[in-house]
């Protein structure tokens, strides 16, 4: 597993959240869990938060589906839950990092 790999969501919300993107650094690969951010189907974001396409909610195409990064629902999951990656967003890694930066630093200052 590599940072910015995309994994299929096997959970109950997979209709609205078909994928997760792994954001955790490889420095922590020995740990049994991985930090992931949901990739939500475009148009499903909760009312009252920034719109898709904003710095915090960039959108991507994964396997023919338009999905939006939802950092506010970031979570840690057991590595066994993720399975094999189905895509990579490594080429868009800086965009994802910028979104997380918006969540952790820019929003408060």
Q: Could you tell me if 33 and 78 are in contact, meaning their C-beta atoms sit under 8 angstroms apart?
A: yes
Copy the structure tokens of residue 67. Answer: 């999905």
Q: Which of 37, 31, 8, 27 is nearest to 100 (CA)?
A: 37
**pLDDT tens-digit profile of 24-38?**
999 999 999 999 999
Domain boundaries, given as residue ranges, for the chain: 5-108
Is the pLDDT assigned to residue 108 strictly greater than 80? Answer: no
Give kind and range of the element (H or E) at residue 81: helix 79-82
What is the topology classification, in CATH, of domain 5-108?
A: SH3 type barrels. (2.30.30)
Q: pLDDT band for position 46 (50/70/90)? A: low
């Amino acid at each position: 597993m590599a940072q910015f790999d995309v994994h299929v969501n096997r959970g109950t919300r997979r209709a609205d959240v078909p994928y997760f993107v792994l954001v955790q650094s490889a420095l922590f690969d020995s740990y049994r869990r991985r930090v992931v951010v949901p990739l939500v189907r475009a148009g499903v974001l909760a009312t009252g938060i920034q719109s898709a396409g904003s710095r915090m909610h960039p959108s991507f195409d994964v396997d023919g589906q338009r999905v939006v990064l939802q950092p506010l629902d970031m979570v840690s999951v057991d590595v066994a839950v993720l399975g094999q990656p189905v895509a990579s967003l490594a080429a868009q890694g800086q965009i994802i990092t910028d979104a997380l930066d918006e969540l952790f630093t820019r929003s408060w200052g």
